[in-house]
Amino acid sequence: METAVNLWPLIGIAAIIIGFLLRFNPVLVVIAAGIITGVAAHMPIESILEKLGSGFLNTRNLALILLLPLAVIGLVERHGLKERAQSWIAHIKSATSGRLLIVYLFVREATAALGLTSLGGHPQMVRPLLAPMAEGAAQSRYGELPPQVRYRLRAMSAATDNVGLFFGEDIFVAFGAIIFMHNFMLESGGIQTEPLHIALWGIPTAICAFIIHAVRLHRLDKTLAAELASLNTQALQAKGDR
């Protein structure tokens, strides 16, 4: 007779979602979700506190790992990294925001497929380099950009990094999710698989993700051209009326 599976511990996921939606302190949200999950799993309070303490001790150096690169990035930004990136991309006449992001998407996905997931990222690549270069490419073609266009380019730059990393790392055979799927299918269903085969089946998905997002980036160029041309026309008409 099969044993019923207790699904109540999954309520911790709902607690995390609600806490993030309400914009509570992330640390408090995660701690509360851990306690809720432990209580739902009928764990003794001593065991819950022990697990939380062990997790804290195992990751106590994480803050240092995160803060050191941020300090270096802040220092180079202060000395003109952003302005230099915008100036460099402005000298490439054929460069557009969409084309630049398509190239980055390909590089990000290809390097992630090789396991080099740390070559990109929001703090070390998107904010100081990629987003300013996308803005610089648009500004060299259309002049000064309105705030809403700048925010859209920044959001699309961050999305491009996410898409490239998420679908690229699924091809890397030593990626944790692939090992997890291999162990899960073997232990739960008795299905014998090879991690390499799972990784290979991630290639079609990665190709589709690249094509779909590249089309979105190509459409971004056309949308920006039409929108900024319309804004420039309205500005000229307003000056003429004066």
Is the four-CA dihedral 83, 88, 92, 96 of positive or negative sign? negative
Write down the pLDDT at residue 151.
93
Q: Taking a C-beta distance cutoff of 8 angstroms, is the pair 111, 120 a contact?
A: yes
With a pLDDT cut of 70, the percent of the chain lying above it is 82
Band of residue 68 on the pLDDT scale cut at 50, 70, 90: low
Q: Is the pLDDT of residue 57 over 70?
A: no
Write down the pLDDT at residue 159.
95
Average the pLDDT over 63-77 and give the result.
64
pLDDT digits (tens, 9 = 90+) for 153-211: 999 999 999 999 999 988 887 777 777 777 777 766 677 778 788 888 889 999 999 99
Ranges of each domain in the chain: 1-60, 80-241
Q: Taking a C-beta distance cutoff of 8 angstroms, is the pair 126, 183 a contact?
A: no
